[in-house]
């Protein structure tokens, strides 16, 4: 007995999901061939799935990748927290990287430590190479200060052992660090101009899950010539908007 239209539509939809579930992105032509549909019909299927949140269209292209609702399914069947967070954040990371000339980092919280999960290099002549998956010093990095500010706001012990000086600008007095952490909690962002390396500044904003827990940080990094110690309101706003986009995907 021939399949009815509903069964055929279900098969084609599942085929598209199977393709995107691999983590690769595909163009309309590739999907139309794999599903034996016209490009126009494949495009309509994809747009419906974009509307439902199962698929995302990559910025400024005709290519598609798995979306937040598909990633939520992946989380429920065992995809690691790292993989899930990175895929949810990647569209915002890429968009931010296109808007700004700075290096863009996504850091993740591991208990009492913070590590960079993904780094997209800036466009300066001399780049900054970041080590991934290595715990960062908390008292002199922008992302690390966000974690310390969170702990301090909760009246929890700070997960630090001493305040070693990495440069002459590193805060080594606990009272000065505490005052800065309180300011960070109020303003909602952190920076670390020349505190871990001379000539380098980073600005970071928090990413929270739907329970309000700090799970990650979105940061930009560059030389102090290009990213001074008084970052513009526009930069802070763009960072916060990008973090909000990731938070919205986490909430699905």
Report domain 79-250's class: alpha beta
Write down the mean pLDDT value for the chain.
88
In the chain, where are the structural domains located? 5-66, 79-250
Positive or negative: CA dihedral 121, 124, 125, 129: negative
> What are the tens digits of pLDDT across the range 94-104?
999 989 989 99
CA distance 9 to 49: 13
Report helix angle 233-250 to 81-99, nearest 10.
Answer: 150
CA distance 165 to 83: 34
- Nearest alpha-carbon partner for 163 in 176, 179, 150: 176
Comparing 5-66 with 79-250, is the CATH topology the same?
A: no
% of the chain beyond a pLDDT of 70: 93
Domain 5-66 in CATH 1.20.1250.20: no
Mean pLDDT of 51-60: 84
207 vs 252, which has greater pLDDT? 207
């Amino acid at each position: 007995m021939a399949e009815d239209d509903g069964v055929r539509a279900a098969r084609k939809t599942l085929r598209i999901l199977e393709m995107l579930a691999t983590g690769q992105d595909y163009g309309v032509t590739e999907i139309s061939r794999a599903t034996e549909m016209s490009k126009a019909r494949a495009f309509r299927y994809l747009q419906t799935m974009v509307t439902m949140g199962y698929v995302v269209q990559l910025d400024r292209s005709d290519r598609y990748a798995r979306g937040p609702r598909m990633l939520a399914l992946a989380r429920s069947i065992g995809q690691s927290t790292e993989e899930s967070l990175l895929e949810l954040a990647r569209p915002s990371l890429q968009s931010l990287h296109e808007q700004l000339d700075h290096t863009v980092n996504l850091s993740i919280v591991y208990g009492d430590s913070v590590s960079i999960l993904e780094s997209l290099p800036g466009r300066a002549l001399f780049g900054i190479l970041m080590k991934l998956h290595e715990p960062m010093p908390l008292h002199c990095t922008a992302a690390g200060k966000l974690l310390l500010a969170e702990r301090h706001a909760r009246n929890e012990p700070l997960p630090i052992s001493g305040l070693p000086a990495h440069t002459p600008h590193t805060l080594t007095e606990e009272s000065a660090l505490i005052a800065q952490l309180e300011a960070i909690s109020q303003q909602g962002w952190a920076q670390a101009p020349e505190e871990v390396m001379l000539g380098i500044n980073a600005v970071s904003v928090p990413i929270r899950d739907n329970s309000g827990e700090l799970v990650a940080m979105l940061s930009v990094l560059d030389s102090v010539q290009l990213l001074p110690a008084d970052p513009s309101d526009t930069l802070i706003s763009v960072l916060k908007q990008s973090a909000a986009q990731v938070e919205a995907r986490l909430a699905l």
